[in-house]
Amino acid sequence: MDARRALIQRRTSAGPIFFCERGRFDFNPGVTALPGGPALGPFGAFGNSFASFVLGDADLTGRSFVNTTPTDRMTQFFSFFQDTWQASSKLTLNLGLRHEVYTPTHPQFAEGGSNYDPSTNTLLISGPGDVPLNTGVETEWKNFAPRFGLSYRLNKTTVVRTGYGISYFMGRFGFYGGTIATQFPAVFHTQVGIANDFLIAGTLDSIAAISSQAVPSNGRLTPAPNQPLFSIPLHNPTPFVHSYNFTIQRQIANDLTVDIGYVGSLGRKLPYSRELNAAYPGTGAGGLALFQAFGRTVTTTLRANGVNNNYNSLQANATKRFSHGLPFTVAYTCSKTLGVGDDQASFVNVLDFKKDYGPTSYDLTHMLTISHLYELPFGSGKRFVSSSPLRFLVGGWQVNGILRAATGAPFTATAVSTSCNCPGNGKFADAVAPVWRRQGSSSGRSSTTSRIRRISTIRTAISIRVFSAR
């Protein structure tokens, strides 16, 4: 069994949107653009934003003030059982079961954090009244993770291995601890204006004042202050991953083995961030979801667990053990990773984040890695210059090398969202014409409308080491 107590003891400097204590001005293109007007053009986003700056007309202004250092805490409990059973001279089984508990993050003291309820426009404040320090976020007690492994020897030179397991985990502690403890009443945020709403929301000669209000004795503040806020669902399942593999390994020679196999995983209930106060295209500030429901005009971010990803790969390896002064390893992977985002994902289309599903930024289709070590055949006990006085100079040298070649990572083509008049939301770029790319060194061009070709990467590293000659 294992028990851990995690702490974050820091002066909070983040939040749904942290403006800093001296204030911040955002100059976006909408102030000097027209709703429904012509496209901004390839340099319009910068040009319009810079024009807003020259005029001193900010699109959004804000200011933050850190009221207290909440000292976030989380308790984790782990227990496991594992056994290895050799059923026969050919068959070995490995069985295990793990149980994990992660308590919700909470501040050490009352009023050290809060949690926004978007269904009632209520801010649950940690500690006062019947609101617990974790604001009522439930603890998952049923996180059981079975493990299974099998190894079967077909003959003297061939072994088959397969396995399956579930692994629970938590996102970065700051993802959770930096949520309830980075907003009212621990941190005060004042936001004036809405990003990309085509309206001026402040000038350089003034900055928004910090506003606050009393904390009610029952710990429920309704309506919630019109400040940037985070929300965590009260039922927030623990993220987990299904991992599985099937591999065949064969000994080709006394010092050479090869293996080939399938390796895959399914990520479930993974962490993500999502803007709740977003508008549909063309609706402007009046289309903000929480403005229509409660009159909220500021950033409101949901941090939850609930998106999925998957990984599938063919993996092959060849390993030569040390002999004749040379060991090496060659590894090749052909894989595909799909999901709605990367680690603790955020989305372009927050109103339908399933449209963000596709290759992740770390999806490398092909990857080849070659590593080697070679002892030069000079010096005492070697093939050459074994007895010459030169053996002290030329003996004991090694050459090491690593080659890594991979196809490039994909990217998502997005566009400035100002023209869609959809505050709080993002925008994918439209394919308005074929994509042209130059072929090799020729001056001709060819087009494709399916996708943009990835750029391959090759990395090498070579080192030379010397050891004392015998």
Residue 221, helix vs strand vs coil:
strand
CA 403 to chain centre: 27
Q: Averaging pLDDT over each range in 37-46, 164-173, 382-391, which range is the top one?
A: 164-173
pTM beyond 0.85: no
Question: Three-state DSSP class for 374?
Answer: strand
Nearest by Cα to 190 from 28, 11, 17 = 17
pLDDT category of residue 36 using cuts at 50, 70 and 90: low
Beta strands in 224-299, from DSSP E residues, in sequence order: 229-231, 240-253, 256-275
Are the C-beta atoms of residues 129 and 220 closer than 8 Å to each other?
A: yes
Straight-line distance from the first to the last Cα atom of the chain, in angstroms, rounded to the nearest whole number = 50
CA distance 165 to 169: 13
Distances (CA, A) of 176 to 5, 134, 148: 15, 11, 31
Beta bridge partners of 189: 64
Least confident of 9-13, 63-67, 209-213: 9-13
Q: How many Å apart are CA 136 and CA 130, to the nearest integer?
A: 9
Token look-up 């052909």 returns 334
Cis peptide before 223 (omega within 30 of 0): yes
- Residue pair 446/436 in contact (Cβ under 8 Å)? The answer is yes
Confidence of residue 38 (pLDDT cuts 50, 70, 90): low
Task: Give the model confidence (pLDDT) of 104-158 as tens digits.
Answer: 988 888 988 899 999 999 999 999 999 999 999 999 999 999 999 999 999 999 9
User: In this predicted structure, what is the pLDDT of residue 313?
Assistant: 97
Residue 413: pLDDT over 50:
yes
Q: What is the pLDDT of residues 256-303, one digit of tens each?
A: 999 999 999 999 999 998 999 999 888 888 899 999 999 999 889 999
User: DSSP state, 391?
Assistant: H
Q: Which helix (H) or strand (E) holds 97?
A: strand 91-102
pLDDT at residue 224 greater than cutoff 80 = yes
Residues of the chain with pLDDT > 70: what percent? 86
Neighbours of 301 (CB within 10 A): 23
Mean pLDDT of the chain: 83
Contact 354, 396 (CB under 8 A): no
- Strand partners for 420: none
286 φ, ψ (degrees, to nearest 5): -70, -15
